[in-house]
Every structure is written in structure tokens, then in C-alpha cells.
Amino acid sequence: MIRVLIADDQAMVRQGFGALLAAQPDLLVVGDAADGAQAVTEARRLDPDVVLMDVRMPVLDGLAATRKLLGDRPADRPRVLILTTFDLDDYVYEALRAGASGFLLKDAPAADLVHAVRVVAAGDALLAPTVTRRLIAEFAARPQRRQSHPARLAALTPRETDVLRLIARGRSNSEIAADLVVAEQTVKTHVGRILAKLQLRDRAQAVVLAYETGLVAAGE
């Protein structure tokens, strides 16, 4: 059973999402919050697997709440799924740096919300092509932030480095398998080792790290 906490300052949104998710046999809505500070408090108290986090909330916005919540938690939970009105929200880059596992538009179809919760709960990242493109644009605009392959990446094997490059370019496991001519299960194994060696929460953080270290350059 996947435990979900819903954080949004609009009661109708919380109730609507709550009813939708509660109708799924494998999802359990354990609570909700009307602002970022309450979201942090309730997440610590209820220990959900996934937190649906609105960006613009009073007291503490979704970005600050995500940073505060994930800053002192184990690497595996909770997963934060950011709810946003626009896919080019200015918070995208910083929210990923704060540890968010993905983004979902508030007007997305109901099936997309259910799918997103399951994907994030399973430990994968939900990065739409528009989000990946925005990440690339962010790094292109901030070349001074990129470094040249730090020692941190030395722990990876050559094949794991190749996989990380492809992750950063937005490739799925099946696409990476096709590119490298290996089985998809082999790719999954490589991804798991990459995350473990680099102490990353998920693929979203892997994308950020790949660009920040200069392993992949914007425009490649």
C-alpha cells in the first residue's frame, strides 16, 4: 500500500485529489496539509511514501518545504511529487536540487496523477520532456556552475558513466538498453549502482549531478 500526503492551500484540490487517490486499491491517503509548514510537520508525523506538494503555498512554499523535509530524512523516503500550474515554473530547477522526484501539472488527467504517484513511490523519477529541456536551459545559462568531472564520479565504472550520460539526456531504461545493446534489466542494475555509489535519491538528482559536474554539457 502506497501512503500519500497531499499538500495544497486549496481545500477543493486536496479533497478532489484525495477522493481520486483513495479510490485506488493500492493507494492510501494518510493526511493533508494547507501550507508548507504543516506539510513538513504532517510528513514527519505520518511517514508517507509520497508527498504531493503544491509550489505556491502560504507560511512556507513548496520548494522550502521540500528542502526542509528532505534535508534530514533517509534517502529512500518520502518521495516528493511537485504539483505545478505551469510546466515551465521557475521552481523546477531548484525543486529538483532540493530533492523532488518529479513534477505534475495540476490540470493533468486523473490517470496521470495516479500513474505519477506509483512511479515516484517505486523509486523512479517523473521528468517530462519539458522539464528536462528546462534543466538543460538552466545549465546553459549558468556555465560557471559546471565543474569538470569531480572525484565523486570516479567511483563509477566506464559503463555506469555511459548510463549516467544517457539518463541526463532524458533516456528511459528501454532506450538506454537499445543504445548500449544490452538487456533492460542490465540497465536497471547499472542505474541502481549509480544511485547507490553517488548517494542519490533518484534519476532526477542524477540528471542534476550530471550537468553540474560537466559530465554532460547543455546542447550535447
| Same domain as 118, residue 55 | yes
Please write the tens of the pLDDT for every residue from 4-28: 999 999 999 999 999 999 999 999 9
Global pTM? 0.74
Residue 29: helix, strand or coil by DSSP?
strand
Give the CATH number for residue 160. Answer: 1.10.10.10
For 123, other C-beta atoms within 10 Å of its C-beta total 17
117 vs 98, more confident: 117
Ranges of beta strands (E only) in 42-199 are 50-54, 79-84, 102-105
Q: Has residue 219 been placed in a domain?
A: no
Contact 101, 49 (CB under 8 A): no
In a domain, 98, yes or no: yes
111 & 151 share domain: no
Per DSSP, 123 falls in state T
* Domain limits for position 176: 143-212
Q: Provide the number of structural domains found in the chain.
A: 2
Q: Look at residue 86 and tell me whether its pLDDT is greater than 70.
A: no
Do 72 and 38 reside in the same domain of the chain? yes
Do residue 150 and residue 175 come from a single domain? Answer: yes
Could you tell me if 27 and 106 lie in one domain? Answer: yes
Cis ω for the linkage preceding 78 (within 30 of 0): yes
Tell which phi-psi region holds residue 52, choosing left (phi > 0), alpha (psi between -120 and 50) or beta: beta
192 domain-assigned = yes
Q: Are residues 122 and 149 in the same domain?
A: no
Three cell numbers at 99? 530533492
**Quick one: cell of 110?**
486523473
In a domain, 220, yes or no: no
Among 80, 103, 75, 79, which Cα is nearest to 91's? 103
Residues 119 and 24 in one domain: yes
The closest alpha carbon to 126, from 74, 76, 89, 79, belongs to 79
129-149 per-position pLDDT tens digit: 556 666 666 665 665 555 555
